[in-house]
């Protein structure tokens, strides 16, 4: 049960009286409409608190953790870093183009690999390179490895079991295709009694893992269902009307290696390369004597990080954390980074990089200190531009009441009992750093109140400047998710 503590808000002497009055008026309404535990820190651009309530109380941050993960990855790797996916081998081809020797696929957790929009690297690009190199036939097992550890994907142990396997919480690891979510479309069969037909798939080849047990019936109504199998595929049952327009299904790839085999087989067939579809072998890093037979790369880290924040992509944040911090103790390295930047000794406890875990804790003042200090570091140049702007992504409902896009650059966080917003607000008299954290039973009401404060303070705001020639928004991949945002996804 959440209760509102009787601690009086604190505001700095000399703070803008108008700003303080607006915040005071807003909070009186917000705490009535959304009773619970509020933690608030509003600071000037130097990080000096203008108004606060429980600023040092660690609260559940939800997806605002991604803000830290972005900064950590940028500090460790650089904004231009890219993630490779390779075909490695030792051997050669005979006169018929058959590869003799060993070969392997090296996957390194590229969130952009084989995405449905086709924007980003594709397995077909690797297969085409093999074809150009003269390879016409591959034999033997599909060895899957990673440059930095086991080639596997699994659910983080710190994630609640009620989240695992939902579209916003797929397996995390080196083996990642299409964000470890598959999609396929079915339409009615040619006549009543016929089985429906798969007419679209992502990744390509995943249709081979779908068993159709449904049948076509008269009319337009459909009662189809999808069930995952223990082998990593899916069964479609039920009925679909002959006059129906069809259905599209999305499902989490609980066994990404099974999807990889199907997708790799489709890519090879598309390039005209034969493969005997042998078994999969998961291995650690390959021997140094392997040669690179084909290679593709992800977009630069800044582009990936910008999309992670705009879409609040949990798998993307976790992969950024592993890329920067390794597969072990990455969360503790993330905490060390936050403490080093903020100069604090406590006020943050993180167990993942996405904020999906309810074990995470961050104090509101830790966020404002980070927002103030990280842009002053070498890695923090133009950091606000990596966060979505008002009217964009998870801030799409914050489109009205401002003189233009870019007055607000912020990250949201949402769980069943959490609503947080952390970011920058441009004003005529300077940028405000805002950390609004709510843990309680009315997160939707709290979110509407949080938007209300941003509008109250930013109605005559200014665009937060950037010294970059082009906005990162123009470099982003794909589009916003068309699905309604589930708990934990914002």
Q: Decide: 161 and 94 in contact? Cβ < 8 Å.
A: no
Q: Decide: 89 and 101 in contact? Cβ < 8 Å.
A: yes
Q: 103-135 pLDDT, tens per residue?
A: 999 999 999 999 888 889 999 999 999 999 999
Q: 280-325 pLDDT, tens per residue?
A: 787 777 666 789 999 999 999 999 999 999 999 999 999 999 999 9
Per-residue pLDDT band at 16 (split at 50, 70, 90): confident
Note the pLDDT of residue 15: 60
pTM, full prediction:
0.91
- Asked if pLDDT for residue 487 goes beyond 90, the answer is no
Note the pLDDT of residue 276: 84
Note the pLDDT of residue 285: 72
Note the pLDDT of residue 289: 75
Enumerate the β-bridge partners of residue 424: 409, 433
Cα(151)–Cα(144) distance, integer angstroms: 6
% residues pLDDT > 90 (the chain)? 82
Residue 75 CB: number of other CB atoms within 10 A? 18
Note the pLDDT of residue 280: 74
Q: 434-451 pLDDT, tens per residue?
A: 999 999 999 999 999 999
DSSP 201: E
Phi, psi dihedrals of residue 96, rounded to the nearest 5°: -95, 0
Domain 10-79+301-475 has CATH 3.40.710.10: yes
Its sign, for the CA torsion 435, 441, 447, 453, is negative
Cα(320)–Cα(298) distance, integer angstroms: 12
> What are the domain boundaries of the chain?
10-79+301-475, 84-177+255-297, 182-250
Note the pLDDT of residue 149: 79
Residue 375 CB: number of other CB atoms within 10 A? 17
> Helix or strand or coil: residue 336?
helix
CA dist list (Å): 143 to 61, 106, 419, 470: 40, 8, 44, 41
Enumerate the β-bridge partners of residue 433: 43, 424
Long-range contacts, stretch 16-24, CB < 8 angstroms, 24+ apart: 16/50, 16/429, 19/50, 19/51, 19/432, 19/457, 20/50, 20/51, 22/453, 22/456, 22/457, 23/50, 23/51, 23/453, 23/457, 24/51
Residue 4 CB: number of other CB atoms within 10 A? 15
Note the pLDDT of residue 286: 65
Cα(226)–Cα(210) distance, integer angstroms: 9
DSSP 8: P
* Topology (CATH level 3) of domain 84-177+255-297: 3.50.80
């Amino acid at each position: 049960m959440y209760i509102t503590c009787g601690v009086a808000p604190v505001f700095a002497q000399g703070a803008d009286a108008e700003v303080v009055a607006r915040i005071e008026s807003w909070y009186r309404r917000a705490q009535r409409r959304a009773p619970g535990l509020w933690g608030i820190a509003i600071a000037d651009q130097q990080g000096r608190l203008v108004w606060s309530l429980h600023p040092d109380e660690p609260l559940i941050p939800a997806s605002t953790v991604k803000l830290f993960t972005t900064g950590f990855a940028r500090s460790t790797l650089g904004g231009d870093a890219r993630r490779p996916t390779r075909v490695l081998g030792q051997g050669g081809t005979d006169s018929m183009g058959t590869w003799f020797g060993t070969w392997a696929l090296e996957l390194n957790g590229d969130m952009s690999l084989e995405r449905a929009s086709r924007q980003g690297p594709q397995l077909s690009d690797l297969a085409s390179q093999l074809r150009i190199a003269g390879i016409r036939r591959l034999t033997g097992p599909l060895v899957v490895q990673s440059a930095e550890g086991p080639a596997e994907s699994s659910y983080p142990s710190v994630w609640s079991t009620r989240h695992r396997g939902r579209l916003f919480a797929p397996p995390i690891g080196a083996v990642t295709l299409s964000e470890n979510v598959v999609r396929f479309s079915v339409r009615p069969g040619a006549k009543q009694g016929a089985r429906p037909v798969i007419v679209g798939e992502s990744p390509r080849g995943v249709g081979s893992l779908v068993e159709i047990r449904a049948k076509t019936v008269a009319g337009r109504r459909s009662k189809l269902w999808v069930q995952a199998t223990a082998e990593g595929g899916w069964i479609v049952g039920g009925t679909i009307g002959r006059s129906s327009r069809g259905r599209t299904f999305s499902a989490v790839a609980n066994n990404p290696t099974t999807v990889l085999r199907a997708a790799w087989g489709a890519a090879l067939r598309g390039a005209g390369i034969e493969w005997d579809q042998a078994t999969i072998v998961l291995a650690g890093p390959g021997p140094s004597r392997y040669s690179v037979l084909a290679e593709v790369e992800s977009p630069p880290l800044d582009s990936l990080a910008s999309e992670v924040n705009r879409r609040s992509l949990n798998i993307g944040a976790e992969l950024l954390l592993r890329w920067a911090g390794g597969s072990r103790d990455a969360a503790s390295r993330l905490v060390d980074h936050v403490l080093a930047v903020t100069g604090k000794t406590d006020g943050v406890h993180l167990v993942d990089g996405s904020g999906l875990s309810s074990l995470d804790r961050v104090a509101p003042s830790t966020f404002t200190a980070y927002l103030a200090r990280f842009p002053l570091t070498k890695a923090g140049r133009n950091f606000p531009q990596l966060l979505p702007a008002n009217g964009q992504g998870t801030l799409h409902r914050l489109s009205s009441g401002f003189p233009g896009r870019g007055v607000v650059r912020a990250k949201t966080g949402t769980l069943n009992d959490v609503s947080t917003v952390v970011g920058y607000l441009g004003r005529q008299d300077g940028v405000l750093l805002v950390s609004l954290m709510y843990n309680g039973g009315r997160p939707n009401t709290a979110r509407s109140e949080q938007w209300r404060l941003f509008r109250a303070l930013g109605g005559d705001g200014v665009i937060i400047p950037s010294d970059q020639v082009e906005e990162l928004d123009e470099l982003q991949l794909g589009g916003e998710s068309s699905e309604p945002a589930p708990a934990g996804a914002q």
